Structure 1
Amino acid sequence: MTIHIEDLKFQCIIGILDFERVSPQDVIVNILIEYNHENGFINYAEIVDTVKIIMIKSEFLLIEDALEAINLNLTKEFLAINSIYLKITKPSILRDAKVSVSKHFTPIS
């Protein structure tokens, strides 16, 4: 099974530039979670809440660090997860482009 969470939009402190450390900015998170539903039910609303809490509380400097932290937390909390694809977009950081970083996480063998 695959859970698709698309265009989750909220505000948080993220970034290394001085002005990014002062005021929250919009972020958009896209998530694909492959899981075995026979190993447990995954509540997508809990996934959304967990992602928002992690990002808002942590005030990451780098998107890359946010991706790693989200993956670590979700795979510990939801044992049925087989793999996760995460993409975090900062839609307003550049005037003429959206900037994103993404990563596909698979279990360590």
Structure 2
Amino acid sequence: MISVFVDSLEFDTIIGLLDFERVEAQRVCIDMEFSADEFIDYAKVCEVTQSEFKEQKFYKIEDALEYFSIKFKENYPSLNSFYMKISKTQIIKNATVGAKIIKNY
């Protein structure tokens, strides 16, 4: 099976629980991987990801991961597996932190 991936999609967005995270956008880095029995347009995946982050303004990374696991399954019904890692690159001075999800459908 062939997988399509996106590495290091970076953009600024509102995400987080803390007061200052709700006001000032911060840099995130997204890695994704998809396996499906249909064509997955990675340019469209990048566009949708950025657009949804802007619109949803997630409070928790974990909420974003669950949201995208459902959204991409709806967009690509033959999706067999989905991986996404969301990293906050500037929230801690000497570390990159975040969370990831691996789904098999």
Which TM-score band applies after superposition, normalised by the shorter structure?
over 0.9
Distance in 2, matches of 1:14 and 1:105, equals 22
The 4+ residue runs of structure 1 with deviation greater than 2 A are none
Residue of structure 2 in register with 1:68 after alignment: 66
Distance in 1, matches of 2:34 and 2:39, equals 12
> 1:106 deviation in Å?
1.4
AA aligned to 1:34 is S
Q: TM-score, normalised by structure 1?
A: 0.91
Superposed CA deviations along residues 5-53 of structure 1, whole A, max 9, x for unmatched, are 00000111000011100011100000011112xxx22111111111111
Residue of structure 2 in register with 1:27 after alignment: 28
Residue of structure 2 in register with 1:93 after alignment: 91
Backbone CA RMSD of aligned residues: 0.9
Distance in 2, matches of 1:51 and 1:71, equals 11
Distance in 1, matches of 2:48 and 2:104, equals 19
Contact 1:42–1:80 (Cα < 8 Å) also in 2: no
Structure 1, unaligned runs of 5 or more: none
Distance in 2, matches of 1:79 and 1:46, equals 16
Distance in 1, matches of 2:76 and 2:42, equals 11
Number of equivalent positions: 104
Distance in 2, matches of 1:44 and 1:68, equals 19
Superposed CA deviations along residues 31-89 of structure 1, whole A, max 9, x for unmatched, are 011112xxx22111111111111111100110000001111111101123111011000
Contact 2:36–2:76 (Cα < 8 Å) also in 1: no
| Structure 1 segment 1-109 matched on structure 2, within 5 A | 1-36=2-37, 40-107=38-105
AA aligned to 1:41 is F
Structure 2, unaligned runs of 5 or more: none
